[in-house]
Chain A
Amino acid sequence: MKDSPVANPLAAAPVYSSALVRAWDSDLGWSFRSSPVAIVSATVALLMILATLAAPLIAPQNPFDSATLNLMDGFTRPGESGIGSQRVFPLGSDEQGRDVLSAILFGSRTSLIIGFVSVLFSMGLGVFLGLVAGYIGGHAGVLIMRVADVQLSFPAILVALLVFGVARGLIPPAVQEKMTLLVMIVAIGLSNWAQYARTVRALTLVEKSKDYVAAAQLIGISPIPLMLRHILPNVLGPVLVIATINLALAILEEATLSFLGVGMPLTQPSLGTLIRFGQQFLFSGEWWILFFPATTLVILALAINLLGDWLRDALNPKLQ
């Protein structure tokens, strides 16, 4: 570990890698290295993320450019080639002749984008409001916590549905389809910020009573820089844990919304849309249209969940 007698082979590396080295050598790094589950799930998650980011480059086909589709390719079994275009479909093709593998790559990409950005959104909003409520307090703090409480018991799905409905009214119909991605991010983000706010507020209250904060106040540092530069780093740990868990939840929430029909449309689908579309073929024999997207969703959620579990166990001082 830190005071290992063996010389650190990376010690000679240039300065910019010292942060990485420190991370690798830290308690957290050791915990990661010694947990096979964490390593496997991190690798899986990373691979999937990279694959989906590179989707436009590595996908055999762009399934959402309708000019490249050939209807006679429809319902090709996995591994066989389509009647229309003679192209091989490694995971089969769907009703319109779209390559399922490509659809999954693009769909995962959409799912991950929505997941990540909505988590960043809820994290940003929740952390900021939590800091304000904890540090500044007062009436604003009470109001924020009240709204957070209300939202925590209101089902996230319904919040997202309401946001969706309002958005549908405010956005002119012509651009509605293109804006769906943005609306999904806002809807899911808004349905999940409360947990961050609550946690950060509780932690901020604890930090507030510490000496370094008093010292900073004496020097004359104004509230906002104080919150952001001094208190924030100390409350980030638990926030990251919540974020990882919420990432999986956000992806699943998006899948449920798409299943209910209000999510991403078929022209720019997410994994949830693919599953909604594929479930009509459950009994009819074209099992691959549902099976592969569903499996992808499960693996993705599983990997992220496992990472989150490991992170929480590793960062929790009481468990060491």
Chain B
Amino acid sequence: MKKSTTLASVLLAVAVLATTAEARSIKWARSGDSLTMDPHAQNEGPTATLAHQIYEPLVTRAVNGDLIPTLAVSWRVLPTDATIWEFTLRPNVKFHNGNAFNADDVVFSINRARSAESDYKGLWASVESVTKINDLTVHIKTKGPNPLLIQNATNTFIMDKEWAESNKVVKVQDYKNKEETYAVRNTNGTGAFILVSREGDVRTVLKRNDNYWGKGTVPLEVTEVIYMPIKADATRLASLLAGEVDIVQDVPVQDIPRLKTQQNLRVVEGPENRTIFLGMDVVSSELKGSDATGKNPLANKKVRQAMSIAINRDAIQRVVMRGQSRPTGTIAPPFISGYTKEMGALPKFDVARAKAMLAEAGYPNGFSTTMHCPNDRYVNDEGICQAVVGMLGAAGVKVNLVSHSKSLHFPMIQKNPPETQFYLLGWGVPTYDSDYIFSFLYHTRQGSRGGWNASRYSNAELDKQIQSLAEETDLAKRGASVAAIWKLLQDETIYIPIHDQMIAYGMKNDITVPVHPDNTIWIKNIAVRRP
């Protein structure tokens, strides 16, 4: 008894020493600010990334794509009923205010994420009901068998039911009620950091949660996080150079070489779960604004393939992206299931052949068209578009470039009927599965599918196959279907892929943060190198 007490106190002393000795504050800068502290209100980059420090989902995705048990320790489809997913929850977890975490919170949170005003409801569209079985077990029933539902759970955060009820934030902000809800600037999560203060567009301060359930499994060395949005690129970079911030999450590609020459800084690069490609109207009978009157050249597969081989993706990588991109031959990012090396193989760059193909297709002198491009969303989006314009011009396709904000660009694609016939788009796949791409980019636009399919491509047979994927429980059979679908779509060249985007983080060299394909940082994983 005495021995164990001594041991215990020694261990305690060491633990206390360890945690107090490395009091390290991290200043984290990024171009955009988190929009709200309500974890279900805005499904977008900076908001979700900051939320990952405070709140936690049932499972998290590791850098290599594996699913890590977080608030759920195990999950399975019930062998007796293929429509029910059973989640076993982690015991002895507490929210920041001391409340215990249990199945009630999970049921509440998922229902909140499914509610009409939540921005995450698309991920839970197949769910019929969520039920608590006991304090640590939850059943999620889907409308039909959904073997991949677990892939959708990586970004849905779990809130405390009692806290939400007592602070009247059971519902997500609906904008009709003209008041700010408590959850916009206040939080109560299970994560490694606790919100201390929130000033929008200035700084959000978090402090370490010393009662975090994961203590011991992660370094947890950072004691304070100060998240600072810095919009102007030059200012953000200057802050890193001056030592005013510890990590910059979005370093512009042209500044990477300079950062690499700094002794006290480090640059970490990695692929992002996002592909950049060109979309075209492959169906309409006329291409507006083109000199090919009465025709739509883009509806001709040969024309599309010609345009694809007229683009020198390697040159774009080398010059425009400064090496920071991975040219690809498919719009599927390489980490998702269904991707094969053959799909990703680059079409050979050949301007002469492109011109010949255009002539074969009936356009010996090429044709003219308008292209729409966002200028504030993807890395060097405007530069990519200009390079593409130049290359297509060399092949005879004269492009009139319209470059505008994403606030104007995305609505053009989303409207029904779409308002653009040739556009640049980037696409990420949070579920790491080909079905997600098929549903949004290739399926006919109807109901909840095809929302981003401005190519107007509509193949009823294909639609049926895509729909069947969601419910196919035989994974081998499913894989074969996916491969067959890709074969068809790659040949059709509905989209012209350009490259997979890469991201670069700049940081002080006493910390290392790996680049996660979802561009998320978990501060709890940062280990500080002692001098």
Contact = CB atoms under 8 A, between A and B. Distances in A.
A177 B389 contact: no
Interface of B is mostly: helix
B394 A67 contact: yes
A96 B394 contact: no
B72 interface: no
B393 A72 contact: no
Nearest to B391: A71
B383 A95 contact: yes
B254 A71 contact: no
Contacts of A174: 288-289, 370
A119 B345 CA distance: 56
Interface stretch (A185-193, A245-253, A277-285, A311-319): A277-285
A234 interface: no
A286 interface: yes
Interface in A77-111: 95-97
Nearest to B253: A284
A17 interface: no
B490 interface: no
A266 B404 CA distance: 11
Interface string B228-266: 000001100110010000000000101101100000000
Given A71-B319, A174-B289, A177-B400, A284 B390 contact: no
A283 to B, nearest CB: 5
B390 A283 contact: no
B483 interface: no
Interface of A is mostly: loop
A135 interface: no
A283 B237 contact: yes
Contacts of B400: 177
Nearest to B386: A96
A69 B320 CA distance: 14
B387 interface: yes
Nearest to B396: A67
Given A67-B394, A177-B402, A266-B382, A279 B319 contact: no
Interface string B361-399: 000000000100000000000110011011101100011
B280 to A, nearest CB: 18
B387 A284 contact: no
Nearest to A267: B401
Contact of A280 (B252, B312, B316, B387): B252
Interface residue range, chain A: 20 to 34
A199 B238 CA distance: 46
Given A66-B389, A71-B312, A285-B257, A280 B403 contact: no
Nearest to A74: B319
Interface in B132-169: none
B257 A67 contact: no
B254 A266 contact: no
A282 B255 CA distance: 9
Interface string A197-217: 000000000000000000000
B315 interface: yes
A193 to B, nearest CB: 30
Nearest to B318: A72
B258 A285 contact: yes
B257 A74 contact: no
Given A72-B319, A96-B390, A266-B403, A283 B257 contact: no
Nearest to A284: B254
B238 A283 contact: yes
Interface in A278-318: 279-286
A60 interface: no
Contacts of B393: 66-67
A238 interface: no
A280 B258 CA distance: 13
Contacts of B398: 67
Contacts of B402: 173, 176-177
Contacts of A283: 234, 237-238, 241, 255, 258
A276 to B, nearest CB: 11
A125 to B, nearest CB: 31
A266 B386 contact: yes
Interface in B277-298: 288-289
A265 interface: yes
Contacts of B383: 95-96
A66 B368 CA distance: 13
A254 to B, nearest CB: 19
A177 B399 CA distance: 13
A33 to B, nearest CB: 45
Contacts of B390: 66-67, 69, 71, 96-97
B320 A284 contact: no
B372 to A, nearest CB: 10
A75 B322 CA distance: 10
Interface in B317-376: 318-320, 370
B141 to A, nearest CB: 47
A282 B389 CA distance: 25
Contacts of A69: 390
Contacts of B319: 71-72, 74-75, 95, 97
Given A280-B254, A285-B257, 6 more contacts: A66-B393, A67-B393, A72-B318, A97-B319, A177-B402, A266-B403
Interface of A: 66-67, 69, 71-72, 74-75, 95-97, 173-174, 176-177, 265-267, 279-286
10 contacts: A66-B390, A71-B315, A71-B320, A95-B320, A95-B383, A95-B386, A96-B387, A266-B382, A280-B252, A284-B254
6 closest cross-chain pairs (CB), A and B: A284-B254, A74-B319, A67-B393, A66-B390, A66-B393, A71-B315
